[in-house]
Amino acid sequence: MADAKLQKNNNNSNVVSAFAGGSANAASVEPVVSDSHWVSIATRDNTSLRPLSGMACALKRAFDFVAASIALVLLFPVMVIISIAVKLDSTGPALFCQPRNGRNREIIKVYKFRTMVQAPPDSEFVQASKNDPRVTRIGAFLRRTSLDELPQLFNVIQGSMSLVGPRPHPLKLDDDFRHVIPALHSRYCVKPGITGWAQINGFRGETRQLKDMLGRIEHDRQYIRQWSLWMDIKILVLTVFRGWTHENAY
């Protein structure tokens, strides 16, 4: 019993140490909460958030459908060119479909342009890293510019995703962090998005350290608490100017 208690204390100490280490991402954005609250997310905070409902939910859905439909019409020629380039660059389909967590942790199929060499169907998920040998030549460009995310406009029209919201994680990534970040699943009380508050504030790409995921979760929770249609428009505009490319987009 004493050994188990000691192990738990050591785990919490590791969480605190991981946060205290700092990172380029964390330093590049203004903290949304105090340091002590960041640590509490990893150790005990499991506060539930209120999902959008009623008129707010209907307004967000209407905006998503109209804006995504217009974007698809305008970007369709670009998507055709990307599809051809992906097919010519490597063997495999142009589109990649991956199961991820959606609203209320419902499993959804998220569409992307394929950016890696085709893996066996039963291969284990491994998060993409810098200079990842699995990334193709065209894939490197698509990931760097986030153009690989364009097929998710179909997800938005289908209703499984929103234009703006917490980014949907691969299932294994959530499993890796759910025991040390109790608040992680609270971000799924709304639909996931193509872009989000966390992404435009630098918390995107590979989660190499615990603090990277902590920053993402807290920004997602802040977005849910403070949502407005104007906030969605602001995030979309900021995505166009600074959200498509980032040092962590690889």
Tokens of 11: 């785990």
Residue type, 167: R
Q: Name which of 206, 209, 214, 220 is nearest 167 in CA terms.
A: 220
* pLDDT tens sequence across 131-168: 677 888 888 899 888 899 999 999 999 999 999 999 99
Contact 183, 45 (CB under 8 A): yes
> Across residues 46-51, what is the average pLDDT?
73
pLDDT band at 11 (very low <50, low <70, confident <90, very high): very low
Q: What is the pLDDT of residues 182-222, one digit of tens each?
A: 888 888 999 999 999 999 988 877 777 788 888 899 899 99
Please, are residues 39 and 15 in contact by the beta-carbon 8 Å criterion? Answer: yes
Residues 6 or more apart from 191 whose CB is under 8 A from it? 102, 103, 159, 160, 161, 162, 165
Tell me, yes or no, if the pTM score tops 0.75: yes
> Over 90: is that where the pLDDT of 232 sits?
yes
